[in-house]
Structure 1
Amino acid sequence: MQMTTGRVLIGSAVGVALVVAVGVSCVPAQSQDDGPGAGPHTLAEYDALFTELNNWGRWGEDDERGTANLVTEAKSREAAGLVTRGVSVSLSHNPMPDEAADNPDSAFEHVMADGFRVDTITFNYHGYGVSHIDALCHFVHNGMLYNGVPASASTAEGCGKHGIQNLKNGIITRGVLLDIARLKGVPYLEPGTAIYTEDIEAWLEQAGVTVASGDVLFLRTGRWARRAELGPWQLSGNSAGIHTSVVRWIKERDVAFFGSDAATDVQPSLVDGVALPVHTLLIAGLGMNIFDNMDLEALADMAAAENRWEFMLVAGPIPVTGGTGSPLNAIAVF
């Protein structure tokens, strides 16, 4: 997501400084009336969908983990059973030191001294340049965070509720790759391409895989392949992703986490007045952490070579107290 205002330094560790940005830019809405399952388009329709699908109170009024609760001990053991070769693949893109259209805020400083070396690494990991996971305090709907927590719980001191530290013990679960670019027979989807439930179900049938409670789904649009071929572009308001109607399908299957190689939402937005409706519905409504800007190219190659689209997923966010998210290195293990 393209972030704009209110940067505040909220944490640092082992010579690494993390800068968190708060505030979300607005993007004009785009109508996609001709797509399957189109809608909602109006704010009233979107509000009704949010009310219908949200998980507020499902795990108790004080819950701060949301759909992460679906990753049970049994689910993690099941995921470990998927490891047959012991081969691992990173799903994270190396942070980019150079500024670009999709990476406007990069800043690295390497300090050399006698006997030791240190780094100060400062970047806005929210946006489109850094692989990261969003905390449940990252998005607000009608003045409320997930589970009905007032947005005022988040201040310049950080998130008083739903900070990324709630995932301190990490994520170990079954991962499933949704390679929609491969389904369409193209190296990458063009920016603005909407992905519908019908596309996901067609892919699952082709791949011979099912989705189960507690899974994490990774959507490959081919964003990094397109960048390698054509160069960087401004993804804010111009990227392939899922249509808002897919969120119902996600909830019905009790998916625990969702991620993509861009920002999950198709952009431009299809809902008037809501810049990132899928992000808002997943995070503030379902209580679902989202993986953004994951590099799924090596994973797609490995999965195709193995003809196997499920794997054990291991990820560990940096547990910054009150953090709105965290850069991370997510690992798929086959």
Structure 2
Amino acid sequence: MRADAETDGYRALGRKLSNWGRWGPDDELGTINLITPERRAAAAALVSSGLSFGLGLPLGADGPQTGESGRQNPLHLMTRTVDDPPHPTGFHYFDDALFVHLQASTQLDGLAHVGYDGQLYNGVPVTAVTRAGAARLGVQHLATALTGRGVLLDIPRLLGRRLGRSEEISAALLERAAREQRVAIGAGDLLFIRTGWIARITEEHDRRGFFATEPGLALDTASWLADRDVAFVASDNWGVEATPARGGDEMPLHCVLIRDVGMPLGEMLDLEAVAAHAASIGRWEFFASCAALEVVGGVGSVLTPIVTF
């Protein structure tokens, strides 16, 4: 399938790759339909050592947000403390609350998160998203569905360096990484892409530098992913794709993958430890579980990704 992003633009590319109607006119799962029970069972068989890695950033006041986008870091409050009197029997309990922007940290972009030209995935009108939430394509449909075979493609290890500002990862580079890591990408896979950009947050504590730009996937990777029936893509940057995009378009890969292909995206994962382990054992596939909050009508969610070897 030809996908000349420079010539056709992202709208034409989206029409070529569209999954609208593939799973019926009322579908709200998109490419997550590709993670069948049989594929999940096969993925579970990948577990041998039982060693697990959490890929999420901590939820706290020291999170990545600067407040400039309107998103704030999570606010954790104690609602019952030692200052509250115990029961006459001496029993004491404590309670707390968390106030969180659903896309403030390690996160899931749901299918109602992005649209263009008045439509969301599967032809749902953008008017389905109101102040009450998403009447269609809510993130609750994906909350427990993101489990299956995970594959990590480690681009910095391939290149011998961390990727720089706005640096693009092309389809050819993804193919080279898969070939040199000796791993095949297949239908229903959860694909994790390491750029090394998360170190801006976890090591350098440079929030503004982190969000000012980012390396990531080029637009031509949409065809590469769609041709392999990948179910889900997640990365260690804040928006999966290289930003700013060529030509001045606003998040064109988001537009194609979420709105046209029906593929949810994962962002701001910490892939450093799992990448080091995978390289040490020479194995880049594992069982992956990316649990989201079952927020009815949510367009995104805090994500808790865990992978197990």
TM-score (norm 1): 0.82
Shift of 1:236: 3.8
CA contact (8 A) 2:65 2:72 kept: no
Summarize deviations over 1:128-158 as a string: whole Å, max 9, x none. Answer: x500111100001211000000000110000
**Pick from 57, 61, 82: which aligns with 2:46?**
82
Structure 1 residues 296-311: aligned runs within 5 Å: 296-311=271-286
Aligned to 2:190: 216
Aligned to 2:245: 269
Summarize deviations over 1:274-317 as a string: whole Å, max 9, x none. Answer: 32111121111111110111111111111112210000001221
Q: How big is the alpha-carbon RMSD for the aligned residues of Structure 1 and Structure 2? A: 2.0
Shift of 1:224: 2.3
Number of residues paired by the alignment? 293
**Higher alpha-carbon Rg:** 2
Aligned to 2:179: 205
Aligned to 1:123: 100
In 2: Cα distance, 1:293 partner to 1:311 partner: 19
Q: What secondary structure, in the 3-state scheme, does the structure 2 residue paired with 1:250 have? A: helix
Summarize deviations over 1:192-239 as a string: whole Å, max 9, x none. Answer: 111001111111111110101000111111122343443314344500
Unaligned regions of 5+ residues in structure 2, if any? Answer: 85-91
Summarize deviations over 1:101-136 as a string: whole Å, max 9, x none. Answer: 65661133233423232222223232xx50011110
In 1: Cα distance, 2:64 partner to 2:222 partner: 31
Instruction: Say if 2:58 is the partner of 1:58.
Output: no
Q: In the alignment, residue 267 of structure 2 is paired with which amino acid?
A: D
Instruction: Say if 2:8 is the partner of 1:40.
Output: no
Unaligned regions of 5+ residues in structure 1, if any? Answer: 1-36
Post-superposition, which runs of at least 4 consecutive aligned residues in structure 1 deviate over 6 A? none
Structure 1 residues 139-150: aligned runs within 5 Å: 139-150=114-125
Q: In the alignment, residue 40 of structure 1 is paired with which amino acid?
A: A
Among all aligned residue pairs of Structure 1 and Structure 2, give the percentage whose two residues are the same amino acid.
36
In 1: Cα distance, 2:271 partner to 2:301 partner: 18
In 1: Cα distance, 2:293 partner to 2:19 partner: 25
Q: In the alignment, residue 189 of structure 1 is paired with which amino acid?
A: L
CA contact (8 A) 2:64 2:105 kept: no
CA contact (8 A) 2:11 2:256 kept: no
TM-score (norm 2): 0.89
CA contact (8 A) 2:111 2:138 kept: yes
Q: What secondary structure, in the 3-state scheme, does the structure 2 residue paired with 1:300 have? A: helix
Aligned to 2:87: none
CA contact (8 A) 2:65 2:105 kept: no
Aligned to 1:161: 136
CA 1:196/1:307 → structure 2, altered by over 3 Å: closer, same or farther? Answer: same
Q: What secondary structure, in the 3-state scheme, does the structure 2 residue paired with 1:320 have? A: coil
Aligned to 2:231: 256
Aligned to 2:257: 282
In 2: Cα distance, 1:267 partner to 1:149 partner: 27
CA contact (8 A) 1:237 1:268 kept: no
Higher helix proportion:
2
In 2: Cα distance, 1:215 partner to 1:90 partner: 18
Aligned to 2:78: 110
